[in-house]
Structure 1
Amino acid sequence: MGNRPTTDSPWIRRFRSVPQRRARLVCFPHAGGAASFYMPLSRALADSVDVLAVQYPGRQERRHEPFRTDILDMADDIAQALTPWADVPLVLLGHSMGATIAYEVMRRLEQDDTARLAHLIVSCRPAPSRPREHPADISTHDDVLAELRRLSGTDDQLLLEQDLIDMVVPILIADYAAIRTYDHIPEPMLRTDVTAFLGVEDPSVPQDDMAAWELHTTGAFTLRLFPGGHFYFKDDPSAMARAVSELLTPLTARL
């Protein structure tokens, strides 16, 4: 197991190679996030599941690449990169902005009749169909710090480290530009089952907005609530890992 890319695509990092893999979980980071954010979740999951994470340009080993600010264009490229991995059932899991990208990627993968698709998990992100306020205009250093504090995604002590701030600020500015310019196209609906995860103290996502994901699939839908806020699994991923494992168990048991 390693956290370096093991495929030719810079979009995909493979955290764990499972010889007798029966399903594959693909994790999509939040705005400002990187693939390594999902390392703790990967460690907490069963050994029968391959765990991949998407690496957006402009961070970690892709830090010298230009940022991408078009979610639909990113979804096109990520879907293409994931196609070779769809030889076993894929479960896509996206948190916050990552939920929107995972949703758009799943829509594209569903157009490939050979892809084996099992489930979409969306976390702490309003359904695309929900009326929403204009997303926050995050365009300055102070805007970024205020947003990080609001969502409690970064320890206040870390916000005092200038090197970290210098790295995070341009990433978040680019990612919020992508969120602001995302234009949802209603069709086609998903056929894949969808489960929505929500931290009940999330200041940015009402429960009704998560429940509205049901309107985006003809498959089954479930809403699961967790204690905590927007980053309810950041310090302890065990509850999320159990919930993900429950969804994966039918796949790993029958193959």
Structure 2
Amino acid sequence: MPKVAIKCLQPRPMATRRLLLIPFAGGGATIFRHWADAFPADIEVFALQLPGREERIDEAPFTNWQAMFDACADALLRWPKLPIALYGHSLGAVIALELARLFDNERPAQLSHLFCAARPWPGKPHAAELASIESLDDDRFLQAMQERYGELHPSLKIIEIRELTLPSLRADLKLLNSYNYATAQPINCPLTVYSGAHDPITTNTNLDSWRQETGNQFSHLSFDGGHFFLESHQSELTQDMISKLTA
């Protein structure tokens, strides 16, 4: 079975808490490369690296949700029982939710906070995502992605990077399409939802529906950005996360 990698962005052996960052479809751990600098010394920051991207470009990406999730669970449940927070962006938000449910079931009280960004509540997907686009030719695929998410990641404008990225992006959409949301017991930790005011995938959706996923505190913060506000508003985003993790 393929395995996931969990990359430490800045080793902190004396840290007492951990934060796991999970990227958007097609993205890799590198998008979070500067995030560790923003967090206090007692928080060690990690990023999930699925196969098929960056240094794992030669590995076959996951296209089946259960296989991917089982690999993530196997890796994370080997970790020491330190408090952990999860941040997921877009596809990563759905992965983060399911991992939060896993921790709640397997290691109660270990999960300190769940941060879900750029994603409608999974119990009611955005209508625009119901159509399958991953088999379209490159030009039509990119056009459909832009119509769906309002913008393409800047890296896709570079032909060499685009050729390397599109296979993992297509695979990740298949991965998301194979996900079936199921109602579960609300998690016990606080849940914060982030969105971009100009992100069409969360516009006209009821993001307060995420509230039912937690029995603890719920909050929603919108940034004046598009789907990739994690880059355009990185400072504001990480500062809000820190304020919630250190409260």
Alignment TM-score, normalising by the size of structure 1? 0.86
SS in 1 for 2:55: helix
Q: Which residue of 2 aligns with 1:43?
A: 37
Distance change >3 Å, CA 169–CA 189, structure 1 → 2: same
Q: Which residue of 1 aligns with 2:209?
A: 212
CA shift for structure 1 position 217: 1.9
Counterpart of 2:245 in structure 1: which amino acid? L
Distance change >3 Å, CA 47–CA 141, structure 1 → 2: same
**1:173 paired residue among 170, 191, 196:** 170
Indicate the larger mover: 139-148 or 11-20.
139-148
Aligned pairs (5 A) from 1:235-246: 235-246=232-243
Q: Which residue of 1 aligns with 2:6?
A: 12
Q: Which residue of 2 aligns with 1:55?
A: 49
Q: Which residue of 1 aligns with 2:134?
A: 138
Counterpart of 2:139 in structure 1: which amino acid? D
Q: Partners in 2 of 1:106 and 1:243 — Cα distance? A: 20
5+ residue gaps, structure 1: 1-8, 251-255
Counterpart of 1:54 in structure 2: which amino acid? L
CA shift for structure 1 position 13: 0.4
CA shift for structure 1 position 30: 0.3
Q: Partners in 1 of 2:156 and 2:108 — Cα distance? A: 46
CA shift for structure 1 position 148: 5.2
Given that 1:31 and 1:172 are in contact with CA atoms closer than 8 Å, whether structure 2 keeps it comes out as yes
Q: Percent identity?
A: 29
Indicate the larger mover: 214-223 or 159-168.
159-168
Q: Partners in 1 of 2:20 and 2:172 — Cα distance? A: 20
Q: RMSD of the alignment, in Å?
A: 2.0
Indicate the larger mover: 108-117 or 163-172.
108-117
Q: Partners in 1 of 2:41 and 2:119 — Cα distance? A: 28
Indicate the larger mover: 19-28 or 69-78.
69-78
Indicate the larger mover: 200-209 or 170-179.
200-209
5+ residue gaps, structure 2: none
Q: Partners in 1 of 2:211 and 2:98 — Cα distance? A: 15
CA shift for structure 1 position 18: 1.4
Q: Partners in 2 of 1:213 and 1:174 — Cα distance? A: 26
Q: Does 1:122 align with 2:121?
A: no
Q: Which residue of 2 aligns with 1:197?
A: 194
Given that 1:86 and 1:116 are in contact with CA atoms closer than 8 Å, whether structure 2 keeps it comes out as no
Cα deviation code 1:94-144 (max 9, x no counterpart): 000000011111111222136711111000101111253214513231234
Q: Does 1:154 align with 2:153?
A: yes
Given that 1:199 and 1:227 are in contact with CA atoms closer than 8 Å, whether structure 2 keeps it comes out as yes
Distance change >3 Å, CA 207–CA 89, structure 1 → 2: farther
**1:183 paired residue among 180, 185, 199:** 180
Indicate the larger mover: 92-101 or 169-178.
169-178
CA shift for structure 1 position 62: 1.7
Distance change >3 Å, CA 35–CA 159, structure 1 → 2: closer
Distance change >3 Å, CA 229–CA 136, structure 1 → 2: farther
Distance change >3 Å, CA 170–CA 154, structure 1 → 2: same
Given that 1:233 and 1:239 are in contact with CA atoms closer than 8 Å, whether structure 2 keeps it comes out as no
Distance change >3 Å, CA 160–CA 33, structure 1 → 2: closer
Q: Which residue of 1 aligns with 2:103?
A: 109
Alignment TM-score, normalising by the size of structure 2? 0.88
Aligned residues: 240
Q: Partners in 1 of 2:121 and 2:37 — Cα distance? A: 29
Q: Which residue of 1 aligns with 2:23?
A: 29
Q: Which residue of 1 aligns with 2:229?
A: 232
**2:87 paired residue among 63, 72, 93:** 93
